[in-house]
Amino acid sequence: MPRPPLDLCATTGVRLAQGERLPTETLLSAEVGVSRATVREALRLLAAQGLIRTARGAGGGSYVTMPTVDHISDSLSSNIALLTDARDLTLEELIEARELLEVPAARFAARRRALEDVERLRNAIPADEPPLDTQSEFVHNRDFHATLIECCGNTVLQIAAQPVFSALQTSLSRSGLGRPFHRSIHAHHARIVEAVHAADEDGAAREMHDHLAFLVPYYEKAWRNARRAPRSR
């Protein structure tokens, strides 16, 4: 489905489609009747919202774009991280939100799964041997959950779930977790995949619920350790 054109300004009647180049600052300034400094600030705000991109060089200028799922999720992740660092969010709130989002996502993934989705999920689970370093393990963990949420087929769930997952994974990745922990994660993920492959909606939801419940004490320990550290000034 083609994206709708961007309403540049109600007073100018200018409408631009995805990928189209905006008029120059001078032309926009004259058309709208404001200073170039005002136009420049407006363009900066549009760029910050992911509504335009700016290119330099012979083909430079500002071009209409539209926010992507990843762009919106990244923005939400940054804000949730700030709230977490400021201690305005509790661990309980994040865990509740993750359960409310990812358990239904697993159910939908099983309902709507395609064979290529199952293969992608399996590929996100590393082998137990040879052992990987902690950072690589967390990359696989992130990729598994991101793929599962994509497979659920609901863009809003995808946008909402990724920032919550990121906030919790960041706290957990700072903890010293050994091989038994990572092997358990592999096993949990494998059971979720098998339920998705079997189109077992209840089983996928149950396995995801059990997986998140398994993680709670690890989150609690990581959260306590982080709270003992002095606040950054």
> Each residue of 97-140: pLDDT tens digit?
999 999 999 999 999 999 999 999 999 999 988 889 888 999 99
Residue 1 lies in a domain: no
In percent, the amount of the chain with pLDDT more than 90 equals 39
Q: Both 209 and 151 in a single domain?
A: yes
Residue-wise pLDDT tens digits, 217-230: 999 998 887 766 65
Nearest-CA neighbor of 17 among 56, 58, 66?
66
Is 110 a member of any domain? Answer: yes
Domain-located, residue 233: no
Give the SS3 label for residue 64: strand
Instruction: Reply yes or no on whether the pLDDT at 181 is more than 70.
Output: yes
Q: Of 64, 84, 114, which one is at a domain's C-terminal end?
A: 64
Same domain, 88 and 34: no
pLDDT tens figures, 72-81: 667 676 777 7
Tell me: do 75 and 147 sit in the same domain.
yes
Q: Are residues 48 and 80 in the same domain?
A: no
Is pLDDT at 190 greater than 90 in this prediction? yes
- Sorted by sequence, the CB contacts under 8 Å of residue 48 that are 6+ apart come out as none
Average pLDDT over residues 79-102: 83
Distance (Å, rounded) from C-alpha 166 to C-alpha 207? 20
Please check whether residues 23 and 75 belong to one and the same domain. Answer: no
Tell me what percent of the residues of the chain surpass a pLDDT of 70.
83
Asked which of 56-65, 117-126, 136-145, 200-209 is least confident by mean pLDDT, the reply is 56-65
Of 95-99, 142-146, 158-162, give the lowest mean pLDDT range: 158-162
pTM (two decimals): 0.70
Q: Which domain holds residue 23?
A: 6-64
Q: Are residues 40 and 79 in the same domain?
A: no
213 and 162 housed in the same domain: yes
> Which of 14, 31, 64 is at the close of a domain?
64
Q: Does residue 74 share a domain with residue 57? A: no
Of 62-71, 79-88, 113-122, 161-170, the poorest mean pLDDT is in: 79-88
CA distance 86 to 20: 40
Domain of 19, CATH number, reads 1.10.10.10
103 touches 215 (CB < 8 A): no
